[in-house]
Amino acid sequence: MAFTHLFSKYMLPGNMSLKNRLVMAPMTRCFADDELAPTEAMLSYYQARSDMGLIVTEATMIEPQAQGYPHTPGIYSDKQIRAWARVVDAVHEAGGRIFCQLWHTGRMAHSHYTGKRPMAPSAVGMEGPLPRAPDLSYEIPLEMEVSDIEKIQTYYVDAARNAIKAGFDGVELHGANGYLMDQFLHQQTNQRTDDYGGNPVNRSRFVLEVIDKTIAAVSSYRVGIRLSPQAYINLDYTSGDEETFNYLLEQLNLRQLAYVHVAAFDAQQRYDYLGGRPIDYVRKNYTGTVIGCGGYTPVSAEIEIHNRRIHLVAFGRSLIANPDLPSQIRNGEKLLPYDESMLQSLR
């Protein structure tokens, strides 16, 4: 296969040109230093993947209270911003583009890392042990006051400003996978009765306010968002959740965002309440650029772009296994299969 679609250029809003349709999926690796700043090894890891049309960094914390995993990087301290600037420069020097994924874990934060009880839309806890720290169990979060909501929104905006200061081409708001933004969007985790809960408009309010404040700070074409309208990880589906995403996507159509990135581990999985695959649901309801992700192979991605199901494709695990994925695809080389043991080191 010639992969003509995968290797065609793409123009994001704001005349941001991408050299191909390949995106590095955001992946938490837990290799930041003790001050939660990116290291030289992380610089090399990202630089090695600069032939991808766009890199989205691992989820990056907007403030210290956002932490739920060991050694995840932040973008709130001067040291972190300076260290990210070195990573960004290295990627740019190698001809790549890079967005920073901005993250707050909400109820999935832990006092072991933060010294404080986590905060979330509602006091609904997760069951079970923490990933990558199995000796810890989740805590019942405190319900956020409106003043907490406003403060956290400010952290998102400050983090976006910091990312642009570090030279990032843009930011991707992590609205997927059951973290803070997703907790506002789903009824199981958002049981509020004020302006931030109770109906689709109110459940979308937190996310839309962050988007609008971030757009005002760094401009719309520097802001993308990752969403998982299906509840597939870290929270459960409640009947009617799709109405919130119908409204949210309708609202996103009114803003010139860089893109909507649909998160999944298997993009082909169908959900009755979305009328099929999440990616098709988003394409039906959203008119801008869409990134698909989750179990794609070069062949399936080429076909999906050809059929206009997606504009760009993100690869995660296969890119951990094959740092030089674009040239391997181009040269028809056999890809090394991903193995979980590969998470033990950065390469």
Q: Is 227 left (phi over 0), alpha (psi -120 to 50) or beta?
A: beta
**Main-chain dihedrals φ then ψ at residue 346, nearest 5 degrees:** -100, 130
Binding test (CB under 6 A) with ligand FMN, winner from 13, 20, 26, 227: 26
CB of 174 to ligand FMN, least distance (A): 5
Residue type, 40: E
Question: What is the Cα–Cα distance from 304 to 296, expressed in whole angstroms?
Answer: 9
CB of 201 to ligand FMN, least distance (A): 25
For the chain, first and last CA: distance in Å? 28
Binding test (CB under 6 A) with ligand FMN, winner from 65, 114, 162, 177: 177
Residue type, 97: R
Could you tell me whether strands 133-137 and 129-130 are parallel, antiparallel, or unpaired per DSSP bridges?
A: antiparallel
Binding test (CB under 6 A) with ligand FMN, winner from 45, 46, 58, 346: 58
Q: Which is nearer to ligand FMN, 17 or 268 (CB)?
A: 268
Q: Judged by CB under 6 A, which stretch of 35-43, 126-134, 171-179, 185-193 contacts ligand FMN? A: 171-179
Question: What is the Cα–Cα distance from 14 to 34, expressed in whole angstroms?
Answer: 37
CB of 56 to ligand FMN, least distance (A): 8
Catalytic residue among 155, 179, 259, 286: 179
C-alpha distance from residue 91 to each of 46, 94, 346 (Å): 7, 5, 16
Please confirm, yes or no, whether 179 is among the known catalytic residues. yes
Residue type, 1: M
Task: Give yes or no for residue 274 binding ligand FMN (CB under 6 A).
Answer: no
Contact, 67 vs 114, CB < 8 A?
yes
Could you tell me whether strands 129-130 and 10-12 are parallel, antiparallel, or unpaired per DSSP bridges?
A: unpaired
Residues in contact with ligand FMN, total (CB under 6 A)? 22
CB of 14 to ligand FMN, least distance (A): 22
Sites for ligand FMN among residues 275-334 (CB under 6 A): 293-296, 315-318
- Any residues with CB less than 8 A from the CB of 109 and at least 6 apart, and which? 65, 66, 67, 68, 118, 119, 141
Task: Give yes or no for residue 64 binding ligand FMN (CB under 6 A).
Answer: no
Sites for ligand FMN among residues 98-117 (CB under 6 A): 101
Binding test (CB under 6 A) with ligand FMN, winner from 22, 87, 108, 176: 176
Q: Judged by CB under 6 A, which stretch of 6-14, 26-34, 46-54, 248-256 contacts ligand FMN? A: 26-34
Task: Give yes or no for residue 27 binding ligand FMN (CB under 6 A).
Answer: yes
Q: Which is nearer to ligand FMN, 176 or 197 (CB)?
A: 176
CB of 318 to ligand FMN, least distance (A): 6
Identify the three-state secondary structure at position 155: helix
**Main-chain dihedrals φ then ψ at residue 328, nearest 5 degrees:** -65, -40
String marking each residue 225-264 x if it binds ligand FMN according to CB under 6 A = -x------------------------------------x-
* Tokens encoding 299: 């062949």
> Does an H or E element contain 159, and which?
helix 146-165
CB of 15 to ligand FMN, least distance (A): 26
Contact, 29 vs 38, CB < 8 A?
no
Residues in touch with ligand FMN (CB under 6 A): 25-28, 58-59, 101, 174, 176-177, 226, 263, 265, 293-296, 315-318, 343
**Residues assigned a catalytic role:** 179
